[in-house]
Structure 1
Amino acid sequence: MNSSHAGTHRPHAPASLLVASLLVVAVTAHAEDANPPPAPSIARTFPVIPTAPAVNQAPPLGADIAGLLEHARTTNPAFAAQRAETAAARERIDSAGALPDPNVQVELMDFTNEMRGGGTTLVPGRVGETRYRFIQPLPGWGKRDLQSRAAAAKAEQAAAGLDAAWLDLAMTIKQAWLRYYAADREAALARESLALLGGLEEATLARYRQGLAPQQAVLRAQREITSQRLAQVGIEQRRRGAVAALNGLLARAPHSPLAAPVEPPALPAVLDLPALADRARSTNPALAADERGIEAARLERERTWADRYPDYSIGLTNNRPRGEDQSWDLMFEVMIPLQQSARRAREREAAHMLTAADAKREATGARLAGELGAAWANYTSSQESQRLLRATLLPQAQATRDATRAAFETGRADFDAVLEAERQLVDTRMSLLQSEVEARMALFEIEKLVGESL
């Protein structure tokens, strides 16, 4: 077709050949649209690790989310602090139910030696009488068990809080990686658009030299190329910011290199909201932490009630009069619970804390339900947008672009029409990428609320 056209219209041959070359480039780029290869963008300062992993080896750090999460479990300092606090809470279980430390007393009777004659001394055995007393406090019946159970409930609450903290950290890492992935894909689209604009510039220059296009068309092409390069600078800036954010979450230097992101797993086609709500109620760690908090508050209230009953102490005394035989005494002590006003205040405090813990659980459940519904709506909307873009708008934009280029080749369309068609196609692809990012952001939020990956 091009050869016959060139034979009929000899003056148009250079422009036709250039446009034909441009169409070949466009078709090649179109064939790679479904999976554009990641490549370094202009002014990229971070070295790129190859994305293809070796056989039986994990992908390099940064290529996917799983590797980042595994790395963050051991390196993130905030999560390490939360993990240490949880371990400390577990250690409190044994100490909570332990007996109080005993007391040992040494009593020096008649240390002036007035009754026996002699000088004042503080040396045991050289005074009138030396008494060695051992006293062991004993909490009231059942108090130690309640203290151990309350400490165990608080340890379980801390463990559930650790799971909730991990889900928060995991979602933050996923979102940062998704921004990194989006910037990388935007850079690929920008490079493709820049290459197509370069081809249009060459074709427009050729037509301008033949007097078939005005100078404004050439200037417009060059202006569009400059605008696209400026857009690439913004994309690269976002990419660097995402890399710095990821490295911060991994406790690495901000400029540390990360592998180019690979394609994430396919999104679930449908998510059942009632099923998700049931799973969230049974697996969400924040809700589980509130449940353990209620149990800890209930046990603390029971322990406070147990303070109505006295504590005890037993003591064993060894009496050693100077110059006489030693003797033994046994002592039994009872604490008298007379401070009733203070004790009643502590009981009311414990009751209020139990009410607060129960209300906190209800508030957490209501918040989870609202957030889950909003995230599910965002996910469903983004999925529907993707379906419409892929099935309707993207094919239409591609067909318009191809038809406009063909018309431009034969002189039936001007440069502005071709440029507008290219811009609509790029905008459609960017909208598709944005819909994917929004859907994945919503999915990450759902996974956090449900407490597991979907």
Structure 2
Amino acid sequence: MFIVICPSPLRRACPTWGAVIFGLALFSFAPVFQISANAIRVSWAEAVAETPQPTKKDESILTLNQAIEQALLGNPGLGEIKARAEAMAAVPSQEGTLPDPELKFGALYLPTNSFNLRQDDFTMMEVGISQEIPFPGKLALREKIAEQEALAAADSVDEARLRLVREVKMGWWRLFYYDRALSLLDEAEQFFLQLIDIAQAKYKVGKGSQQDVLLAQLELSKLKDEKLSLIGMRHGQDARFNALLDRTPEMPVRIPAEADFKLPAIVESALQDKALQIRPLFAQHRKMLGAAKAKVDLAQKGFYPDFTVGAFYDIRQDTLSGQSRSDFASVQLSMNLPIYAGRKQAKAVDQRQSELLQERYAQLDEHHKIQAEIAAKAAEYQQTKEKLLLLEHEIIPQAQQAVNSLLAGYQVSRTDFTDLLRTQLSFFQYQTQYWQALSSTQQILAELSAEVGEELSHD
């Protein structure tokens, strides 16, 4: 009896298609069947029937979409950026509004020898109001700067959301790979345990050697060591993944046995053009560039004075003899004098122009970085995709046929045990490489989606 679980990368990632389990075949020396890589599928329940599954009620299976949804709702880093953007959205109206007027009260020319309000004709009580008025155009520019910065902050939220989704996808697919690799190790352990029993049985009847038993035991020990390493990496990834979802680090993460995945054909130039159009980071830079230009205009208006207008009413008391005295009213206009323009306003213009140049260089630098990243990831994706398809359609079926052939020869003592062992180990490695390549393609697609600014599809 043979159980072969083979992938179909154009449709779904099946739960496990690990090492061929030869137990019954070795015990009964049943005829070897040639099985096509695309002909047989085994359900998850059958493939992992002997694998113990967690039973804790709080360990619900977490699909990729559910993980993304939880991260977008609960990630504290994203919440921080959202709160900052909301705070900046409240700034423009403040910057575009006149300063609060000043209400003034005072006592003028009060004689210090008596502090009597009626003693002197110049003694009066004053009440007034004044308003600072910036030079025309300054308020509008300040509001425009704040608006552009607030819009850039909103774009930063979208950019942070892209980065978070990328990290969740990459973490989820790493966990998926660890689970598949551990499943393969479980199957390989079962195979070697059964192989050890067969080698010992053949050794007892004089048809095998003790060397065969020792070699099989050594490989079993190596598998156990590799499994310990994988379990450790899996636990570490659990903690990092839970941090993205705002969950406790020790909370177990259960990944489904099957997962939808895609292998779209991508065109590098099309991705770069699309990134320029829809990537929030570029929109953020454009708005920051607009804010920098407005800051230059505002600095140039610094050469013009601001004004303060005021109106005051002075109340005088009657004289000591009862003679009435009229009240006074006054209007004031004042302005600041930019007499230090060469050391202050001119330097402010130079500062803002340098900041504008900085924004332009930052935008160009980001453009070049993203272009290079898209080109590198596109090439890496194409290479990994081709490796994935090669493993599925050529290498793994050929390795399986080689194992079947060597097993048939070993059954009749025509094949050396070490050849069978080496070929089976290679078969296991190829299967592990397949799951690693599959996980890598999906992680690279997650990175490309973040670089472009939208989910990549088959189209």
TM-score, scaled to structure 2 = 0.85
- In structure 2, how many angstroms separate the alpha carbons of the residues matched to 1:160 and 1:315? 43
1:74 positional shift? 2.2
- In structure 1, how many angstroms separate the alpha carbons of the residues matched to 2:112 and 2:188? 106
| Aligned residue identity for 2:433 | S
For residues 436 and 31 of structure 1, do their structure 2 counterparts lie closer, same or farther at Cα, with a shift above 3 Å needed?
Answer: same
- In structure 1, how many angstroms separate the alpha carbons of the residues matched to 2:46 and 2:138? 67
- In structure 1, how many angstroms separate the alpha carbons of the residues matched to 2:56 and 2:450? 32
Which among 223, 226, 234 is matched to residue 229 of structure 2?
A: 234
| Aligned residue identity for 1:384 | E
What are the within-5 Å matches in structure 2 for residues 42-121 of structure 1? 47=56, 60=60, 63-112=62-111, 114=113, 118-119=114-115
Identity, % of aligned positions: 22
Which among 289, 292, 314 is matched to residue 287 of structure 2?
A: 292
Please identify, of 373-382 and 247-256, the stretch whose mean Cα deviation from structure 2 is larger. 247-256
- In structure 1, how many angstroms separate the alpha carbons of the residues matched to 2:44 and 2:430? 16
- Aligned residues of 1:46 and 1:257 also touching (Cα < 8 A): no
1:291 positional shift? 0.9
| Structure 2 residue matching 1:130: 3-state secondary structure | strand
1:23 positional shift? 7.0
1:41 positional shift? 9.9
- Aligned residues of 1:41 and 1:188 also touching (Cα < 8 A): no
- RMSD of aligned Cα (Å): 3.0
Match of 2:328 in 1: 327
Which protein has the bigger helix share?
A: 1
- Aligned residues of 2:302 and 2:345 also touching (Cα < 8 A): yes
| Structure 1 residue matching 2:312: 3-state secondary structure | strand
| Aligned residue identity for 2:299 | T
1:96 positional shift? 0.9
For residues 253 and 43 of structure 1, do their structure 2 counterparts lie closer, same or farther at Cα, with a shift above 3 Å needed?
Answer: farther
Match of 1:138 in 2: 133
List per-residue Cα deviations over 1:149-183 (Å, max 9, x = no partner). Answer: 11110011111112112222221222211211110
1:120 positional shift? 7.0
- In structure 1, how many angstroms separate the alpha carbons of the residues matched to 2:46 and 2:238? 19
Match of 2:11 in 1: none
Q: Does 1:316 align with 2:311?
A: yes
| Structure 2 residue matching 1:256: 3-state secondary structure | coil
What are the within-5 Å matches in structure 2 for residues 42-441 of structure 1? 47=56, 60=60, 63-112=62-111, 114=113, 118-119=114-115, 128-323=123-318, 324-341=325-342, 342-441=344-443
List per-residue Cα deviations over 1:84-125 (Å, max 9, x = no partner). Answer: 1111111101101011111222221133355xxx3479xxxx
| Structure 1 residue matching 2:247: 3-state secondary structure | coil
Please identify, of 350-359 and 327-336, the stretch whose mean Cα deviation from structure 2 is larger. 327-336
| Aligned residue identity for 1:236 | I
- In structure 1, how many angstroms separate the alpha carbons of the residues matched to 2:32 and 2:145? 74
- In structure 2, how many angstroms separate the alpha carbons of the residues matched to 1:197 and 1:48? 34
For residues 335 and 446 of structure 1, do their structure 2 counterparts lie closer, same or farther at Cα, with a shift above 3 Å needed?
Answer: same
- Aligned residues of 1:314 and 1:333 also touching (Cα < 8 A): yes
| Aligned residue identity for 1:71 | Q
- Aligned residues of 1:408 and 1:414 also touching (Cα < 8 A): yes
- Aligned residues of 2:74 and 2:246 also touching (Cα < 8 A): yes
Give every structure 1 segment of 4 or more consecutive aligned residues whose post-TM-superposition deviation is greater than 4 Å: 21-24, 30-50
Structure 1 runs not aligned, ≥5 long: 1-14, 51-59, 122-126
- Aligned residues of 1:16 and 1:409 also touching (Cα < 8 A): no
- In structure 1, how many angstroms separate the alpha carbons of the residues matched to 2:380 and 2:92? 44
- In structure 2, how many angstroms separate the alpha carbons of the residues matched to 1:314 and 1:37? 87
- Aligned residues of 2:263 and 2:385 also touching (Cα < 8 A): no
For residues 98 and 255 of structure 1, do their structure 2 counterparts lie closer, same or farther at Cα, with a shift above 3 Å needed?
Answer: same
- In structure 1, how many angstroms separate the alpha carbons of the residues matched to 2:287 and 2:45? 49
1:268 positional shift? 2.7
For residues 43 and 64 of structure 1, do their structure 2 counterparts lie closer, same or farther at Cα, with a shift above 3 Å needed?
Answer: closer
Structure 2 runs not aligned, ≥5 long: 1-23, 319-324
- In structure 2, how many angstroms separate the alpha carbons of the residues matched to 1:138 and 1:290? 32
For residues 120 and 240 of structure 1, do their structure 2 counterparts lie closer, same or farther at Cα, with a shift above 3 Å needed?
Answer: farther
1:292 positional shift? 0.9
| Aligned residue identity for 2:414 | R
- In structure 1, how many angstroms separate the alpha carbons of the residues matched to 2:347 and 2:259? 57
- Aligned residues of 2:384 and 2:440 also touching (Cα < 8 A): yes
| Aligned residue identity for 1:154 | E
Aligned length: 423
List per-residue Cα deviations over 1:46-76 (Å, max 9, x = no partner). Answer: 95878xxxxxxxxx5x632221121112211
List per-residue Cα deviations over 1:322-364 (Å, max 9, x = no partner). Answer: 2234332222222222221200000011111111111111111
For residues 340 and 17 of structure 1, do their structure 2 counterparts lie closer, same or farther at Cα, with a shift above 3 Å needed?
Answer: closer
